A and B are shown apart, each in its own frame.
Chain A
Amino acid sequence: MVVCVALCMTVGPYSGNRLALIVSFPSCAEKCMKCKEASPVLVIRVGDAFCKACFREYFVHKFRAMLGKNRAIYPGEKVLLALSGGPASSSMLRQVQEVSAPQRSNSLHLASLVCYSEGAVCGQSLAERGDTLLQMETILQASRFPYHLAHLEEVFDLPSSILQHAPHNPTGPKNSYKEAVEGFIRQQRREEGGSPSLPERQIQEKLAEVSLRDVPGMEGLADPEARLLAAVRTEQLIRLFGSVKTLTAKEELLQTLRNHLILHTARTQGYSKVMMGESCTRLAVKLLTNLSLGRGASLAMDTGFSDDRHGDVVVVRPMREYSAKEIAFYNHLFGVPTVFTPALDTKALEKASIHRVIERFVYGLQAEFPSTVSTVYRTGEKLSVTPGDASPAAEPERCLLCLCALDTNVGKCKRCLPAPG
């Protein structure tokens, strides 16, 4: 082992600490820490060197263990994978494929993919968006899973009857007093027992009605009417985002709309589980961001392994223990295809939004204190979903937009209130 001794040139009474710092770096002469035979190709965490085969085994095992430990996915359950084309979700797709190999007993046969395209709000031109879509479709077809492309413009088709009902009346006996909200009127929500609970069958019928209706998406470009409607929707979307003044609020809006879209897709196609590909690094940033936005009460639900605020659809995050570095190396070593799409804050100023500030801070601090991300992540793991002061019997009032329990006594939860300025 190569050992570097750094001398602290201090003066005065601290001279006793001259040999205080001894740093060791693994060198190429070392062997993989697991099999002790092959030479290592990468170093993860602080000093763990792995060879290619052992790394692959470690990576896949972690995925399996994550699913098995939480007992979240039952064999034969239908699972929807939400893909953005980025490295984490592409890696997640590959892991699902590995786990779905037929010779394993506990495998995810019934998985399907949804890929969401947000190019319109991120400033991509129509041609660029077409390119991105083509790339994504190639990847999706190669995976041999059934897939569905969702465009952000489709959110305009959600509201009229479906998405307003379902999130506010999650199916299940526990949400009996939630009523259908035609508009976002708070008084209607506060009425106790204002309308009867919708049994599950009724909601499924309504959903079936919607899925029968033709959604004017981007696929049928040959039809001139559909193309016109699509252009109108894009226009509406750009106007919507243009009316939001701050980048922070735009990012939050985008996340809310994206979640609703994925939820709707899961509901209409009858999936009870959705897998999101958020890595450990991304979750650490999200924890601090939500803390700064005032969402301390719902941190556990936003970043925990399983998120069941919607009732019938459960969102799981199986990639939450992988750091961004591990995912990047895995994708590089094993040829996982990814598609780059610009996000809302690509090329934005440093202090433009809370998300940007936190991301830059965490990455900067991580360089100096290598345990920052994992410490923040572990702290997040220690949070609980139920609020501390809630009475266990009563059903808490929920926020209209994010469906988490209200953490104020009046009105919408803190995050969903419009930010001043």
Chain B
Amino acid sequence: MLGAVGRCMLGVTGSGQVHAGSCRQVHAGNWPVCAAGVWGRRGRESSSGSGPPTMPATCSACGTSPAALRRPKTGHALCRACFLAAFEEETHQAIVAGRLFRPGETVAIGASGGKDSTVLAHLLQLLDQRHGYGLRLLLLSVDEGIAGYRDASLAAVRRHQHRSGLPLHVVSYRQLYGWSMDRIARHLGPRNNCTFCGVFRRQALDRGALLMGADKIATGHNADDVAETVLMNFLRGDVGRLRRGAGAGPAGGEGAVPRCKPLRHAYEKEIVLYAYFQGLDYFSTECVYAPQAYRGYARALLKELEAARPSAVADLGHSGERLSLRSDLRMPARGTCQRCGYVASQPLCKACVLLEGLDRGLPKLGIGKHRRLRDKLQDGQPLTQEERRRLGALAEEEPPEEQVPLGELGRDEELWGKQELRGPRDLDF
């Protein structure tokens, strides 16, 4: 498309969030990155005092083709083919060295329709064919019930499924729990939604994987996600999660089905570049409930660290793996939930506690420390008005919800009507 003008995508995450260190430079042509973003001139430390570096002419790997980009991870100048080859090879090495898969396994790929899971699904299929992992791959999607966000991204998943031919299953919160995220957010408010969504999604993925007979779940967490998690857990003092770590051990999963993160060494920027160069179709917008999440602080910090020193992302992941905690700390013990049988460290799993709160009209039951009130509820004692308000009860009764028909669990039905949305607008395939 000649003469098109767009905005530089580097520094814009797949969810569309623009953060510190982003470029957003207007440029001509239909490339997703401006020249500065490609050559990585922005954010480099100026202590050397020299002018901007000149663009190298040829790819440093093959030496013949002109270089098309500079890798965010290493700073090497590479042509398109060499970059794709390098990325694929590194992922293959991560899978082999980490012994993530065994031949004959069924792997459910957590597909949200975003850039990470689209690249993951594409790569796993490609590498499985190329190197013969001997895997049976499936796509597993979770519908949280967020209008305008999840329905559009699920459309992207379906397009991917048509192209790739992999079987797809969708599980939804409404089917599993009777509550969609929109309905939860109406009761809960603008904050703390990520807690519900994250806890429910974990169980939803496990239940979906069990339903499909999968041995493992593969998620598209990238190096930036892992680094943000390390930072966030440190900032919040969550020693339990720090110990369980940012590692991707295949047999160390804490849910019912073991998980792995094959892309955990891949930088987010490289995933964006890979998706662009391969012409992959994905959906990118920010979840409407995300802006007030605490992870936003860790994400902003990570972008600044990456600007100061690009290897900080990988270094954080490495630090997270090597953290050694004192052995005399009191750690939660792994048991099972009394109500649903899921893995839990308390008598009731977190999802059951959250659901209990929602069903009783006290949505904050699972948020914050309300042990005394929870025990009171469990004993069957009534709560005072003040206590009900602290747990988030509404002052007046809410109007009854219109009944949306529940689909069959695991069936692939669109309940919200046909809306077809294209992928990122700037790209024209």
A residues near B, CB below 8 A?
A: 10, 13-17, 245-248, 250, 287-288, 290-297, 299-300, 349, 351-354, 356-358, 361, 365, 372, 375-376, 378-379, 382-388, 407, 414, 419-421
Using an 8 Å CB-CB cutoff, how does the interface string of B380-413 with A read, 1 for contact, 0 for none? 0000000001001111101000000000000000
Q: Compute the total of residue contacts between A and B using a CB distance below 8 Å.
A: 139
Interface: B189 (CB within 8 A)? yes
Q: Is B426 an interface residue (CB 8 A)?
A: no
Do A351 and B47 touch (CB < 8 A)?
no
Q: B307 is contacted by which of A300, A351, A386 (Cβ under 8 Å)?
A: A351
Q: Are B312 and A354 in contact (CB under 8 A)?
A: yes
Q: Do the beta carbons of B322 and A248 come within 8 Å of each other?
A: no
**Smallest CB-CB separation from A408: which chain B residue?**
B318
Does B323 sit within 8 A of A, measured CB to CB?
yes
Query: In the complex, which of the residues A297, A356, A357, A376 contacts B235, with contact meaning CB atoms closer than 8 Å?
Result: A376
> Please, which residue of chain B has its CB at the minimum distance from the CB of A348?
B47
Taking a contact as CB atoms closer than 8 A, the residue among B21, B324, B393 that contacts A384 in the complex is B324
B234, A297: Cβ atoms closer than 8 Å: no
Complex contact B311–A297 (CB within 8 A)? no
A31 CB, min distance to chain B CBs, angstroms: 30
| Contact indicator B75/A357 (Cβ below 8 Å) | no
Counting CB contacts under 8 A, is B308 at the interface? yes
Chain B residues positioned under 8 Å from A293 (CB to CB): 312, 315, 319
Closest B residue, CB atoms, query A368 = B297
Q: A296-B321, A297-B322, A383-B326 are in contact. Are A352 and B46 (CB under 8 A)?
A: yes
Q: Which residue of chain B has the shortest Cβ distance to A300 in the bound complex? A: B324
* B301/A15 in contact, CB under 8 A: no
Quick one: closest A residue to B316, CB to CB? Answer: A292
| Min distance, Cβ B234 to any Cβ of chain A, angstroms | 6
- Not counting A384-B325, A387-B322, a sample of 11 additional A-B residue pairs whose C-beta atoms are within 8 angstroms of each other reads A13-B394, A16-B393, A17-B392, A245-B47, A288-B234, A292-B319, A294-B319, A296-B323, A352-B308, A385-B324, A388-B324
Is B45's CB under 8 angstroms from A294's CB? no
A380 nearest in chain B by CB position: B234
Q: Which residues of B contact A357 (CB under 8 A)?
A: 301, 304-305, 308
Known A16-B394, A352-B308: A361·B320 in contact at CB below 8 Å: no
Whether B235 contacts A372 by the Cβ 8 Å rule is yes
B103 beta carbon closer than 8 Å to chain A: no
B35 on interface, CB distance cutoff 8 Å:
no
Residues of B within 8 A of A246 (CB): 45, 47, 309
Would you call A414 and B45 a contact (CB within 8 A)? no
Residues on the A chain within 8 Å of B327, using CB: 384
Chain B residues whose C-beta falls within 8 Å of the C-beta of A375 in the assembled complex: 235-237
Say yes or no: A14 contacts B189, CB within 8 Å: yes
Pair A414/B301 contact, Cβ less than 8 Å: no
The answer to whether B324 touches A297, judged by C-beta atoms less than 8 angstroms apart, is yes
Known: A246-B45, A379-B237. A387 touches B324 (CB 8 A): yes
**Once bound together, how far apart are the Cα atoms of A365 and B326, in whole Å?**
27
Q: How far is the CA of A247 from the CA of B309 in the complex (A)?
A: 10
Task: Tell me which residues across on chain B come within 8 A of A15, comparing CB atoms.
Answer: 395
Q: Which residues of A contact B242 (CB under 8 A)?
A: 379
> Bound state CA distance, A388 and B321, in angstroms?
10
Chain A residues contacting B398 (CB-CB under 8 Å) are 13
Minimal beta-carbon separation of A35 from chain B (angstroms): 32
In the bound assembly, the distance between CA atoms of A245 and B326 in angstroms comes to 37
List of A residues within 8 angstroms of B46 by Cβ: 349, 352
Closest 10 CB pairs of A and B: A296-B319, A294-B315, A16-B395, A297-B322, A388-B324, A384-B326, A375-B237, A379-B237, A296-B322, A357-B304
Tell yes or no: B351 within 8 A of A by CB: no
Select which of A294, A352, A378 is within 8 A of B237 by beta carbon: A378
Report B-chain residues with C-beta under 8 Å of the C-beta of A407: 318, 322
